[in-house]
Chain A
Amino acid sequence: MRPAHARVARRCPLRALGRTWVLTALWVVVTGCATNPVWEELREAAPAPELAAVPFFPQDAYQCGPAALATVLAHGGIEVTPEQLAARIYVPTRRGSLQAELLAAARSYDRVPYLLSGSPESMVDEVRAGRPVLLLQNLGFERWPVWHYAVLVGFDPEARTFLLRSGTEARHEVGARGFLASWERGGRWAMVVVPASEPPAAADALGWLQAVAPFESTGHLEVAAEGYEAGVRRWPEEALVWTALGNVRYLQQDFAGAEEAYGQAMALSSGNWTARNNLVRTFMAQGCPGLAGPWIGDAGSPPEGFASTWNRTLDELAALHQGDCEVLQ
């Protein structure tokens, strides 16, 4: 018969195993690293050496939004402090800053906030191109989120680490898996700020228009024009970009310029109903409703969502008389 302590000893490994299992499960929950598909996307990526010139603003309690935004703006040559930005983006009761207000504040310094595509590669690409990336992390759980903004300034695939300007740490080195999991829980949100004349190399036409259009709708027309001009240089085959350029020229009352831009858009894509509608509006604004004829005759019928806009334009056109049409005179 075996001594009692032997049985105890035999049971102990089991209990230890149980404890290990619990700890492992906890670790998986905390780090989100069981299998991290985000990391898989980056496995083959080239390194992004540290952008040593990116400044650092240590944050005060809860002020990581102003600190992170000041970091990327200052890197782009804007003189601004987190204190100045706090007045624009800090929300006292929430003890934090909203993403939309970060974008709006960047625009108030005439910089275009460009949202990245949501792939980890897109962030690393920007750092490699010399631009620090402002990103959102959830340092807690899906259910108990702890939101934090940080600025990515480097990536080392060998060591599997990311380098951040974060909180009170100028060089915060974090493990790739844990970091990417926190970014994933933050909705894969990341942006760079650029001058309106320089769309990022990785930008696509639609993303660039979405980033620049708010300047148009908030009345900063010169910046919008600069952004669209850069857009047509980069994507001369994109009808939407020409339409956007036409829009801002129309709002600047440069009707001849608007007509030219809308004309380009229609030449590239005759199914562009915004360009067609706005071109007709351009003739109307100049008191030349007669010139709209060719754009109405062969129009066909607009898609369902555009019908009411188009019909309103036609109605107002019909009510107009040929005025002092300078173009005809």
Chain B
Amino acid sequence: MSILKTSMMAMLVAAMLVATLPAHAGIVGTEQMVSSEARAAALTRINSVLAGEEVAAQLTAWGVAPDAVAQRVAALSDAELQQLAASMETDPAGGVLAIIGVVFVVLIVLHLTGAFRGFR
């Protein structure tokens, strides 16, 4: 998908996000109150919207169906959005069949011992 298309998608999602955010109307929300992060004070709605754009763009680039992206991003909490925006590229994505994992480990061991060179 082209960068232009991806970024347009992200803007669309962001617009939808803003529309669906509940109005906090001045009070400090519970999520902000209980955030254990040192940057709790920075956990604002604005930051969440920006983080939502980033997460939406990345999910779209990773092949998630565009019509599902908005729904998925809207389901994430402020803290989750910011955490994903910060590290989703390296976050665990659990998926393998256990047996594939075992095969993979065996291949790595063989690779390390020099018996298998498939990973070059």
Instruction: Write the residues of chain A forming the contact surface with B, with a CB cutoff of 8 angstroms.
Output: 26, 30, 59, 61-65, 68, 87-101, 103-105, 107-108, 136-141, 144-150, 166-169, 172, 186-187, 206, 209-210, 212-214, 216-219, 221, 224, 228, 240, 243-244, 247-248, 250-251, 274, 277-278, 281-282, 284-285, 305-306, 308-309, 313, 316
Q: Classify the secondary structure of A's interface with B.
A: helix
Q: Tell me the smallest distance from the CB of A230 to a CB of chain B, in Å.
A: 14
Q: Tell me the smallest distance from the CB of A251 to a CB of chain B, in Å.
A: 6
Is the Cβ of A218 less than 8 Å from the Cβ of B108?
no
If A59-B97, A104-B72, A240-B34 touch, whether A98 touches B24 (CB-CB below 8 Å) is: no
Task: Classify chain B's interface size.
Answer: 35 or more
Q: Tell me the smallest distance from the CB of A88 to a CB of chain B, in Å.
A: 6
State which of B40, B65, B75 has its C-beta within 8 Å of the C-beta of A104.
Answer: B75
Is the Cβ of B95 less than 8 Å from the Cβ of A147?
yes
Is the Cβ of B20 less than 8 Å from the Cβ of A94?
no
Sample (18) of A-B pairs whose CB atoms are under 8 Å apart: A30-B105, A90-B64, A91-B62, A95-B93, A96-B93, A101-B76, A108-B75, A140-B104, A148-B94, A148-B97, A150-B98, A214-B78, A244-B30, A251-B22, A251-B24, A251-B27, A274-B28, A281-B26
Is the Cβ of B68 less than 8 Å from the Cβ of A139?
no
* Interface mask (B28-63 → A, CB under 8 Å = 1, otherwise 0): 111101111000110000000000000000010111
Is the Cβ of B104 less than 8 Å from the Cβ of A103?
no
Alpha-carbon gap, A305 to B19, bound state (A): 29
Q: Tell me if B74 counts as interface (CB < 8 A to partner A).
A: yes
- Which residue of chain B has its CB nearest to the CB of A282? B27
Q: Tell me the smallest distance from the CB of B39 to a CB of chain A, in Å.
A: 10
Q: Tell me if B11 counts as interface (CB < 8 A to partner A).
A: no
Across the interface, which residues of B come within 8 angstroms of A218, CB to CB? 22, 74-77
A-B contact count, CB below 8 Å? Answer: 207
- Which residue of chain A has its CB nearest to the CB of B104? A146
Across the interface, which residues of B come within 8 angstroms of A244, CB to CB? 30, 33-34
- Which residue of chain B has its CB nearest to the CB of A62? B95
Across the interface, which residues of A come within 8 angstroms of B71, CB to CB? 88
Across the interface, which residues of B come within 8 angstroms of A224, CB to CB? 30
Across the interface, which residues of A come within 8 angstroms of B94, CB to CB? 64-65, 68, 96-97, 99, 136-137, 147-149
State which of B23, B29, B84, B95 has its C-beta within 8 Å of the C-beta of A95.
Answer: B95
Is the Cβ of A206 less than 8 Å from the Cβ of B34?
yes
Across the interface, which residues of B come within 8 angstroms of A146, CB to CB? 96, 100-101, 104-105
Across the interface, which residues of A come within 8 angstroms of B30, CB to CB? 209, 212-213, 216-217, 224, 228, 243-244, 247-248
Within 8 A of A (CB), among B76-106: 76-80, 83-84, 88, 91-102, 104-105
Alpha-carbon gap, A257 to B30, bound state (A): 16
